[in-house]
Amino acid sequence: MRNIGKEFIKGTQYPDYSTVDLVLRVPEPPHELPVREGQTIIKLPSPKKFKVVDFPVRKAIENWEPVGFFSRSSITLKELSYMLWCTQGFRKIVVETIQLKNVPSSGSRYPLETYFVANDVEGLETGLYRFLPRSHSIVAEKIDSGLILEMSTASMSFKIMTRAAVTFLWVAVPYRSTWALGNRGYRSVLIEAGHTCQNLIMAAANLGYDVFPTDMFHDELMTTLAGLDPETQWPVYIAAVGKVEKSVTLA
């Protein structure tokens, strides 16, 4: 256990590309998890038509601080659409092999899937959803008001998760990266999760929301909550979005 960090770094050094599946002409894995038959797909409002106020990057960085609690708040579907687009949305798709999202990704492999638990999102029932970036849509994975408590338990953050308007869960599908990059792709997955959450912090600040990011959660509980395949799909990062009541000081 004490050597796990060294083993990870050593095991994810630049690989022998003769062993990489891309070079061996193994078929490329899908860029997006499939939608199951009977699932409901919801088209999101276009983020390009959503007007946001100018908000200095410096102010967003300087104003961010750890969140200890949220006030009860809600977000609109347009605001959710904007945050999803900023974090994992496509900016350009030329052909299947030439595509660009709003976050950096080693080899443009984009190994993350975005799930979220909607607590108070205008127009959405409480439940678990997944973002479909290619069509800028979402799919309902599980409609259940009990998921709020499940997320609170899995994340060990009851005061945060029960009051957050929405909680994002980024799930790694590592083979998308390792197919082209070998074991080095495992590093890429974790780095991209950080890029993605930082974009969420900036986008949320632009809309007047606060973000509580954390990697402290029960992996098995989160895997069960999202209905993931533990062999190929791994929860790596979560972030709750809401509002904090600012203290009022009397002169």
Highest mean pLDDT among 26-30, 66-70, 158-162 belongs to 26-30
pLDDT in tens, 137-195: 999 999 999 999 999 999 988 889 999 999 999 999 999 999 999 999 999 999 999 99
**Which residues are CB-neighbours of 118 under 8 A, at least 6 positions away?**
80, 124, 125, 126, 127, 128, 129, 166
pLDDT at residue 127 is higher than 70 = yes
Structure tokens at 139: 């799919």
pLDDT at residue 236 is higher than 50 = yes
What was the pLDDT predicted at 34? 93
CA distance 80 to 178: 30
The more confidently predicted of residues 107 and 245 is 107
pLDDT-wise least confident of 25-34, 86-95, 167-176, 220-229: 86-95
- Phi, psi of 79, rounded to the nearest 5 degrees: -65, -40
- Is the CATH number of domain 4-242 3.40.109.10? yes
CA distance 110 to 70: 31
Q: Which residue has the tokens 């992996």?
A: 219
What was the pLDDT predicted at 98? 65
> Structural domain boundaries of the chain?
4-242
Determine the average pLDDT of the residues in 36-50.
Answer: 91
> What are the beta bridge partners of residue 171?
113, 235
Q: 0.95 exceeded by the pTM? A: no
